[in-house]
Amino acid sequence: MNHLWRLCLPLLLALVAGGLVLVILGKDPLAYYFYVLDRGILSWGGLQETLTRMAPLLLIAAGLIVAFRAGIWNLGGDGQYLLAAVVTAALAPALIGFVPRGLTLILCMLAATLVGALWSLLPAFLKARYGINEIITSLMMSFLGISLANVLVKLFFWDPATTVPQTRTLDIASRLPRISGSNIHIGLLIALCLVVLVHLLMTRTAFGLKLQVVGASPAAARHAGLKVGFLTVATFALSAGLIGLAGAVEILGVWGNVRADWNPAYGMLVVPLVFLARMNGLAVIGFTFFFAALMIGGESAARRIGVPQDFVLLLMGLVLAFLGLVEYLDHRHQMRAAA
């Protein structure tokens, strides 16, 4: 099957199936998709929101690409993201009065990267030392991280000047600079650069090749003399560090604080984008733009035609289902061709 069709067909099938669901609900699918395009891409304000939303999604995608190419399922992204976001939200207002703005932003992003990496060490150690399935341990650490983030906001970082449990707010002037007078912050440029660097790391360096060998066959990697345990821990740390950085970029660029029980749950949402892009760092940029536009435009479209805002999640579920179907059919086609 043509490679481009393998990329685009699941999206097209999901949009068609989503349109049929809207028809069954008595809604106009063409109107829904028009509103998505109008709000998410065609209007300048919507395009700015779409590009801004891309920044954390791209960084999470970069982290997942590192893990998945190494054969490691880091599904603890939501916990890593939230803990890093809370630490950033607590640290930035405390530093800004004593440290220059630029240094404050850099220190907060480094701290968030470190927090994300540290939160992944237990699943990494259990995987490297005892071979325990990282799907289970990373998901458990994600739930713990989400709960711990809420505890930190409610007990330790609660701004006493507010009645709602939230951290102190970083003023707008102290947040990430905007690009050319727009509402798009430079976190998008940081994310784009890091996605490209991750792509080059995984496809053009000896370290990336070692990770892919470990992912393809740990036994063969050991036979080749690779330090599988060290590479496993390094992969987890790099993957979770990038996801933690995503939390910092979102707080420093958009929100300025974290409220209790806030959880955008981006971690699992980005997984199908990474697989649609075949874990290619360059291709994932396009899919992330598509999904960000769908999220921004879908919120407006849902209100206008009267469907739940979670309809976007249904579309993503359909994309994932059709991705699996296309892969299955393509595999059968290849098997018949080989026979």
Q: Is the pLDDT of residue 328 over 90?
A: no
By the 10 Å C-beta count (0-12 exposed, 13-18 middle, 19+ buried), 312 is classed as buried
Beta bridge partners of 166: 259
The pLDDT of residue 3 = 62
Average pLDDT for 27-31: 92
CATH class, domain 28-306, is: mainly alpha
Alpha-carbon distance of 188 to 316, in angstroms, equals: 23
- The angle subtended at Cα 192 by Cα 280 and Cα 292, nearest 5°, is 80
Number of Cα atoms under 13 Å in the Cβ half of residue 159: 20
pLDDT of residue 144: 97
Residue pointed to by tokens 């009065």: 97
Burial label, 290 (beta-carbon count in 10 A; 0-12, 13-18, 19+): middle
User: Other C-beta atoms within 10 Å of 42: how many?
Assistant: 13
Give the whole-angstrom CA distance, residue 285 versus residue 57: 9
Bridge partners of 178, per DSSP, are 185
Q: Rounded to whole angstroms, how far apart are CA atoms 270 and 264?
A: 12
Q: CA-to-CA distance for 311 and 235, rounded, in angstroms?
A: 34
Per-residue tokens: 203: 């496809």
**In the chain, where are the structural domains located?**
28-306
Could you give the angle at the alpha carbon of 38 between the alpha carbons of 40 and 193, nearest 5°? Answer: 30
pLDDT in tens, 93-132: 999 988 999 999 999 999 999 999 999 999 999 999 998 9
Mean pLDDT for the stretch of residues 200-220: 89
Residue 1, pLDDT > 60, answer no
Backbone angles phi, psi at 135, to 5 degrees: -60, -45
Tell me the average pLDDT across 142-161. Answer: 95
259: which strand partners? 166
* pLDDT for the residue 148: 97
pLDDT of 40 above 90: no
pLDDT bracket for residue 158 (50, 70, 90)? very high
Name residues whose C-beta falls within 8 Å of residue 331's C-beta, 6 or more positions apart in sequence. Answer: none
Q: Is the pLDDT of residue 199 over 90?
A: yes
Check: CB of residue 145 under 8 Å from CB of residue 78: yes
Q: Residue 339: is its pLDDT beyond 90?
A: no
Check the CA dihedral 276-281-282-287 and report its sign. Answer: positive
Contact predicate 289/79, CB 8 Å: no
Q: Give the integer Cα–Cα distance in Å for 276 and 272.
A: 6
Q: Are 126 and 137 in contact (CB under 8 A)?
A: yes
Spatial neighbors of 170 by CB under 8 A, at least 6 apart, are 89, 92, 93, 96, 251, 252, 256, 257
Collapsing DSSP to helix, strand or coil, 205 comes out as coil
